[in-house]
Amino acid sequence: MRTQVAIAGAGPAGLLLSHLLRLRGIDSVVLESRDRAYVEKRQRAGMLEQGTVDVLRDSGVGERLDREGLTHHGLELRFDGAGHRIPLSELTGGRTVTVYAQTEIVKDLIAARLAAGGEIHFETEVLSVDPGAPTVTFRRDGRVETLECDVIAGCDGFHGVCRPAVPDTRVHEREYPFAWLGILADVPPSTDELIYAYSERGFALHSLRSPKISRLYLQVDPAEDIAAWPDERIWSELRARFATDDGWELRDGPILEKSITPMRSFVAEPMRHDRLFLAGDAAHIVPPTGAKGLNLAISDVVVLAEALGAWYDSGTTELLDAYSDTCLRRVWRAEHFSYWMTTLLHKDPRQDAFGHRLQLSHLEYVAASKAAATTLAENYVGAAPLL
């Protein structure tokens, strides 16, 4: 097998990269270890920055996003029994965020690639990559084969084989003393905009997937057993953390899915070695509080597609040589914002009464100060352009 760009991983990063390359007349092959049904059902983030929406729309895969996505102009910080709205659009020159599940982005991209005759090989395990040759060795239908290429894009996630192929990687990481218990519930959302709640009981987030499906999260201990959280306990704890003095009520209903996800910050530098380029979770992880993970992955592959386009068009390597530094500037900004949001809104189990009062004071400042609220809003909607 031979192609111009070999892409390991059929998540949003790998699929969008393949789609963007096709628009530039560049061939690619996507290799994915899971089957198509699993990939299209894999639940992940669903909050899209303005820039991400623009990329999907401008590249021709935004029709269903425009029809079904839920555009938000603000969010709510809730603490001390009261809600405080942060007017995102008002503070950022009209920019917005959009709720559109990763599962739907993946479906849209797979459909677009297959309709254009693109090669996506599901149930194909990447065994190793050689950044110098460059080649990808993979197993499919019990046979080991090799894919020759000009460039390898490592979009195979945190546990993939691509990052270990980068020698002398500098790893920066932080583990947090809490995790998220997330649920998908068959109940209309109790809010029109996301609610980020801080209480002495811990953090809670009210998100949504559609006008009929709610997505909610609770801060729990990373060692917590999901079996210890029957549905009624989850709803009871959510009601306690979202409680306000004005009588606001949380709707509940059947829980369709539940899981516990530990939280970490992780960055691997550099994001390139020879002809291998890392993108998305293969290179960086953020805690989900700032809704940056998917958006960073999209940003990476937009930068990579532009750099590859310039290389194939004119032979210039300037953008390829700058790829890692270009991406990492945005990555570290997102890492800081995600860390800031996480520490602002979660209750550290080691925290004393002094720390609790400091946290409340910080939240009050963000809610009352236009300057502080603007900082939150600019980072949340993705004020910096993708390029």
CATH number of the domain within which 19 lies: 3.50.50.60
Choose the catalytic residue: 100, 196, 198, 217: 196
Choose the catalytic residue: 292, 323, 346, 347: 292
Whether the Cβ atoms of residue 88 and residue 74 lie closer than 8 Å to each other: yes
Whether the Cβ atoms of residue 255 and residue 183 lie closer than 8 Å to each other: yes
Q: What are phi and psi of 196, to 5 degrees?
A: -105, 115
Whether the Cβ atoms of residue 361 and residue 76 lie closer than 8 Å to each other: no
Q: How many whole angstroms separate alpha carbon 193 and alpha carbon 178?
A: 25
Q: How many whole angstroms separate alpha carbon 5 and alpha carbon 22?
A: 11
Is 384 within the bounds of a domain?
A: no
The structure's pTM equals 0.94
Q: How many whole angstroms separate alpha carbon 248 and alpha carbon 195?
A: 12
Question: How does pLDDT run along the chain (387 residues), one tens digit per residue?
Answer: 899 999 999 999 999 999 999 999 999 999 999 999 999 988 776 899 999 999 999 999 999 999 999 999 999 999 999 999 999 999 999 999 999 999 999 999 999 999 999 999 999 999 999 999 999 999 999 999 999 999 999 999 999 999 999 999 999 999 999 999 999 999 999 999 999 999 999 999 999 888 899 999 999 999 999 999 999 999 999 999 999 999 899 999 999 999 999 999 999 999 999 999 999 999 999 999 999 999 999 999 999 999 999 999 999 999 999 999 999 999 999 999 999 999 999 999 988 999 999 999 999 999 999 999 999 999 999 965 554
**Rounded to 5°, angle at Cα 179 from 176 and 181:** 170
> Which residues, 6+ apart, have CB-to-CB distance to 218 below 8 Å?
180, 181, 202, 203, 204, 234, 237, 238, 241
SS3 126: strand
Domain around 280: 5-47+101-172+264-343
* Predicted local distance difference test score (pLDDT) of residue 384: 55
Choose the catalytic residue: 72, 273, 346, 347: 72
Whether the Cβ atoms of residue 29 and residue 6 lie closer than 8 Å to each other: yes
* Predicted local distance difference test score (pLDDT) of residue 247: 85
Is 204 within the bounds of a domain?
A: no
Q: How many whole angstroms separate alpha carbon 310 and alpha carbon 205?
A: 42
* Predicted local distance difference test score (pLDDT) of residue 383: 62
Q: Is 292 an annotated catalytic residue?
A: yes
Q: Which two tokens stand for residue 349?
A: 């189990």
> Which residues, 6+ apart, have CB-to-CB distance to 249 below 8 Å?
190
Whether the Cβ atoms of residue 92 and residue 383 lie closer than 8 Å to each other: yes
Q: Provide the H-helix boundaries in the chain.
A: 12-23, 36-41, 50-58, 63-68, 88-91, 102-115, 231-242, 293-314, 318-321, 323-345, 353-368, 370-381
* Predicted local distance difference test score (pLDDT) of residue 385: 53
Say if residue 270 is preceded by a cis peptide, omega within 30 of 0: yes
Q: Which two tokens stand for residue 234?
A: 């989850």
- Number of independent structural domains in the chain: 1
Q: Is 288 an annotated catalytic residue?
A: yes
DSSP at 201: T
DSSP at 283: T
Is 73 within the bounds of a domain?
A: no
> Which residues, 6+ apart, have CB-to-CB distance to 39 below 8 Å?
10, 11, 32, 106, 110, 122
Choose the catalytic residue: 19, 206, 288, 323: 288
Judged on CB neighbours under 10 Å (0-12, 13-18, 19+), 162 is buried
Is 226 within the bounds of a domain?
A: no
Q: What are phi and psi of 217, to 5 degrees?
A: -140, 150
> Which residues, 6+ apart, have CB-to-CB distance to 223 below 8 Å?
none
Is 281 within the bounds of a domain?
A: yes
Q: How many whole angstroms separate alpha carbon 296 and alpha carbon 330?
A: 8
Q: Which two tokens stand for residue 60?
A: 């021709």
Q: Nearest to residue 308, comparing CAs of 28, 55, 15? A: 28
